[in-house]
Amino acid sequence: MKTYPLQTVQAHLFGMSQQSANRYIQQLLPALTEALDELGVMPERDGQAVARHERRHGEAHDLIVDGTERRRQRPKKPEIQAIHYSGKKKAHSDKNIVVVNTQTKRVSFLSQTLPGSVHDKKLAAHAEIRYPKEATLRSDLGLQGYAPDVREHLQPKKSPRTRS
């Protein structure tokens, strides 16, 4: 499921029809979601609840926020192709913002999925993530200008252009 293979591929791997694979997925995904939720390892999906989620786990608040893209099949309609085309990756993709705890490697937050053409900073702002005030947050240049209310926000500086 992590790599999002086609159901026909899953069916082939397990020696069944695509319809059977679909039926099993529909039955097993809710059970998997419930089990992961009971174990407390499901990421928060509501940006407003991230701080509360982090405090509940009682771990050090050293977090990384980043945008992540997953390739997708090229849409047939040109207008949908344009929406999902990521110039950065030169491919059609979907994108999420992910917040990870650096100590435990636990995914704290997973945003809703948006087209790959959406910039990381815009997606993070759209998610309205509330971090613990005492958190140290690390991000890359894709989130330049993103300024959440945290104790410390570590972000590399853009190197100055040299003119020749």
The domain ranges of the chain are: 1-42, 43-154
Total length of the chain: 164
Q: Give every residue of the chain whose pLDDT is below 50, as ranges.
A: none
pLDDT of residue 71: 83
pLDDT of residue 4: 67
Return the structure tokens found at 82.
């344009």
Q: 4, 70 in Cβ contact below 8 A?
A: yes
